[in-house]
Amino acid sequence: MIFATAMMIGIAAGLQRSAIGTMIGVALVSVAFMTAVAVSVVPPPLTTLFIALGGYNVGFIGYLLTIDAMERRRA
């Protein structure tokens, strides 16, 4: 579920078409994880952060590849 949610955030960051928006998205995922670590009694494993960041990257790269394929088909 974390992977799928992060993937959707990556797609949404790609829709913004802004490098700053992309970096803010990654920062917000990391800040959310660090907040969970600070607030919880039992901190979540670090692998969940890596899964979330991987999902974000997969979503963002998938979006970019899709846009590229659509542009090539149009030309």
Q: What is the pLDDT of residues 9-60, one digit of tens each?
A: 899 988 888 888 888 888 988 898 999 999 999 888 989 889 999 999 999 9
Q: What is the pLDDT of residue 22?
A: 85
**Block residue for tokens 């009694």:** 41
Handedness of CA 66, 22, 46, 2 (dihedral sign): negative
* Residue 22 and residue 9 in contact, taking contact as beta carbons nearer than 8 Å: no
Place of tokens 């149009």: 74
Residue 3 reports pLDDT greater than 90: yes
Mean pLDDT of 58-67: 94
Rounded to the nearest angstrom, the gap between the alpha carbon of residue 20 and the centroid of all alpha carbons in its chain is 13
**Smallest Cα–Cα separation from 48: which of 12, 1, 11, 8?**
1
69 pLDDT higher than 90: yes
pLDDT at 39: 94
Tell me, what's the pLDDT at 16? 86
